[in-house]
Amino acid sequence: MSDQLRFDGQTVVVTGAGGGLGKAYALFFGARGANVVVNDLGGSFKGEGASSKAADVVVDEIKQAGGKAVANYDSVENGEAVIDTAIKAFGRIDVLLNNAGILRDVSFKNMTDADWDLIMKVHVTGAYKCARAAWPHFRKQKYGRVINTASAAGLFGSFGQCNYSAAKLAQVGFTETLAKEGIKYNILCNVIAPIAASRMTETVMPPDVLEVLKPDWVVPLVAVLVHPSNKTETGSIFEVGGGHMAKLRWERSNGALLKADSTFTPESLLAKWDDVNDFSKPQYASGPADFMGLLEESKKLDSNP
């Protein structure tokens, strides 16, 4: 089919590609002509242990279907080694899918430093290290596409997942800034909050729900975002799963604006509390600059009654 979105000649690095969503991405890009780096540490979903098997199985599957793939078994914390595998095997990197992840679910009361630190290392440091190692290549060739992986747990909170929630919302800020820094070099970065049946979710969702949440149904959005035909979509947040895709954005209430002088007190703020909470005239903030504009308005106000 001539109108297929193809990735011939491009190199796509997929982290955590030994199972779940990463495997679905790797198989797809392998079938669409890309050189694929299948990275996976091969440990448990709690981040224990390591094995080369998870990545090897996916590489074999891609090759048997006629595609090109190599394995990398490093932890994403060692991003230089992950990206180096792409450069050594294929001489370039075009797309980075930061997907690897683990869970250490526990209520905040019982959370240990080890639970917190490991989640930060894999999700936050891992995404940073891989992107940091890919960045000079992207800049030099004036082309790069990055997908980072957030979660509804990060966007909205989720009982027993405060470490994971913090790490996942970090992906949003990370992506929004990379998008701003990358645009000049045609490096486009977006973040997805997927939902899919995988070993991560199989114990927390009923079988009939898992049935409609194939990892394959997350792939089309990722493919569209990282394809060369996407020239403008960057810095965006998407929810995706089970055939549903939607974009999210920050919404600011119209808010209260008080004269910032000695009449600005907790009591004067309380008198305006309904305005702070009023979303009937929403604003869609996109950066610190538009907030500074509001402060200019406050200079014109009279002192608070």
Q: Which residues are catalytic?
A: 164
| DSSP run (H or E) holding 69 | strand 68-72
> Nearest approach, Cβ of 265 to ligand NAD (angstroms)?
43
> Nearest approach, Cβ of 69 to ligand NAD (angstroms)?
15
Q: Which is nearer to ligand NAD, 121 or 227 (CB)?
A: 121
Query: Comparing C-alpha atoms, which of 148, 183, 159 is closest to residue 16?
Result: 148
Q: Which is nearer to ligand NAD, 52 or 230 (CB)?
A: 52
> Nearest approach, Cβ of 76 to ligand NAD (angstroms)?
4
CA-based end-to-end distance of the chain = 69
Q: Which residues contact 98 (CB under 8 A, 6 or more apart)?
A: 15, 76, 126, 127, 130, 131, 146, 147, 148, 149, 171
Residue sitting closest to ligand NAD (CB): 20
Q: Which is nearer to ligand NAD, 153 or 258 (CB)?
A: 153
Report the relative pairing of strands 244-248 and 237-241 from DSSP bridges. Answer: antiparallel
In three-state secondary structure terms, 98 is strand
Q: List residues near ligand NAD by CB under 6 A.
A: 15-16, 18-22, 39-43, 45, 47, 54, 75-76, 99-102, 122, 126, 149, 151, 194-196, 198-201
> Nearest approach, Cβ of 154 to ligand NAD (angstroms)?
8
Q: Which is nearer to ligand NAD, 42 or 67 (CB)?
A: 42
Report the relative pairing of strands 95-98 and 11-14 from DSSP bridges. Answer: parallel
